[in-house]
Amino acid sequence: MLARFASIALRSCIVSLCAVSGAVADDKQGVNWPQFRGPGAAGIATGFDTAKKWDVSTGKGIKWKTPIPGLGLSSPIIWGDRIFLTTAVRAKGDQPLKVGLYGDIQPVKDDSEFSWQVLCLDKKTGQILWTQTAHTGVPKIARHTKASHANSTPATDGKHVVAMFGAEGMFCYDVDGNLLWKKDFGPIDSGFFAVPDAQWGFGSSPIMHDGKVILQCDVQKDSFIAAFDARTGGEIWRTPRKEVPTWGSPTIVDAGGVVQVVANGWKHIGGYDLKTGKELWKLEGGGDIPVPTPVCGHGLIYITNAHGFMAPIYAIKPTARGEIVLKNSGDTSEHVAWWTPNLGNYMQTPLLLGDHLYSCRDNGVLSCFDAHTGERIYQKRVGRGISGFTASAVAADKKLYYTSEDGDVIVVKPGPEFKKLATNSMNESCMATPAISEGMIFIRGEKHLFAVDTPKAKKAKKGGRGQ
């Protein structure tokens, strides 16, 4: 079931072949968080102390909280002193959000008019600097009861801000809110492949790299992955995918100078050449509604999914080429360092920190694996056992942050032994993955965006910057 590396020397050789590309180089000071889960989707911020304990009810440790109109489950992104966020505002009345552990597949029936908005906030004060309405109308596709009409996290390169609103289109602004271009992909539908009437909205987030916007669009019909010019919106390449609807976002990986786009999937986990869109390698997965985003480190690409057959975790070598076949638990491949079935998670993107891979299921059960071998080191429950977990974990300052749908942010010590450091209630539902910048943690709740302040005693670590 698990294949080990041959030696430490081989392990070191592989590490040199894989690096997460993108905005990592821009984040040396732990300032920019330009996409879903930050640079390279790694979910890790460096250079600053971050809080362990805060109290929303009293305001202790909270720098500011800002009401956000409408309902959006997208995460905040950050460049410099600006935060960018998306939302969908119903013309009249509230939008119910049903959190928790349940299996209802029916969508929300709502023919109301909505406005899809992009917001820019001041990072230091929480003041909304500008709001742009990208589109107004009745949603073309219904949403899930645990979703919104603004699920996709925007992306920025410091010049452009790209927001994806599914069937309503993709929109690009400059950082001052001026519309640069927009794309209409038609009524794209990423609902349940087995029950087409169960529409759930769109969830894959765009990413940016080297002047390109990359979009993974796995839907009921004509799925594709594509690259667009960030300046003009012109299509650079588009590669069809024989894939059912998925909700994951792609990742950029540099393997020995060959930059590739890596996508999760059910029928098609794969890597694509960033320049041309040519498929480099392919693997049929084990979870039929993949949500987690691939992450990279130690010379490996870590991919997990669940819901359906097998629930695997794969550690794939970025030098892989051609089709990889792993059908049964004992199968091996020269392109896969290790893999294990039945331990993958459904909703959350895993977190790779040091020599450990942390994978948390939507019921709050956290597993810690040896990232090099796949050996499971521990399995513990981070929540109370009654909450769902959709937001992915983030890490900073030797702390892991896990956010439950009920609004509890659980702080866990990283390492081979499980230790819970604190539990902080946000007093409202939380579905979005937090962002971290200069030691501040930005947590989006159902109604507000919260800024958890940097500890007052020590603003920045050696090598970082103060605020």
Distance CA 250, CA 295 (A): 9
- 463 falls within a domain: no
- 460 falls within a domain: no
Residue 319: closest CA among 378, 269, 371, 260: 260
Distance CA 368, CA 360 (A): 9
User: Strand ranges (DSSP E) for 24-81?
Assistant: 62-67, 77-79
Q: What is the mean pLDDT of each run of 10 residues along the chain (467 residues)?
A: 31 40 51 97 96 98 98 98 98 95 92 97 98 98 97 98 98 98 96 94 97 98 97 98 96 91 97 98 92 97 92 96 91 96 95 98 96 98 91 98 98 98 98 98 98 75 40
- 3 falls within a domain: no
* Residue 19, pLDDT score: 53
Q: Which residue bears the tokens 């992306």?
A: 155
- 39 falls within a domain: yes
- 2 falls within a domain: no
pLDDT digits (tens, 9 = 90+) for 345-377: 999 999 999 999 999 999 999 999 999 999 999
- 355 falls within a domain: yes
- 323 falls within a domain: yes
* Residue 76, pLDDT score: 98
* Residue 346, pLDDT score: 94
pLDDT digits (tens, 9 = 90+) for 115-167: 999 999 999 999 999 999 999 999 999 999 999 999 999 999 999 999 999 99
Residue type for position 75:
S
Residue 393: closest CA among 343, 344, 351, 435: 351
| Burial 71-91, CB ≥16 within 10 A → b, else e | bbbbbbbbbeebbbbbbbbbe
Q: Which residue bears the tokens 């007093």?
A: 427
CA 135, 141, 146 angle in degrees (round to 5)? 100
User: Total structural domains in the chain?
Assistant: 1
User: Strand ranges (DSSP E) for 294-418?
Assistant: 295-297, 300-304, 313-316, 322-324, 336-340, 351-353, 356-360, 365-370, 376-381, 394-396, 399-403, 408-413
- 1 falls within a domain: no
Domain range for 379 is: 8-452
Helix (H) or strand (E) holding 12: helix 8-15
Distance CA 191, CA 187 (A): 12
Distance CA 108, CA 144 (A): 6
Sheet-wide strand order for 179-183: 155-156, 160-164, 170-174, 179-183
Distance CA 230, CA 156 (A): 10
Sheet-wide strand order for 336-340: 295-297, 300-304, 313-316, 336-340
Assess contact for 95 and 71: CB atoms under 8 A. yes
Assess contact for 248 and 348: CB atoms under 8 A. no
What CATH code is carried by the domain that includes residue 50? 2.140.10.10
Give the sign of the dihedral formed by CA 304, CA 306, CA 309, CA 311. positive
* Residue 308, pLDDT score: 83
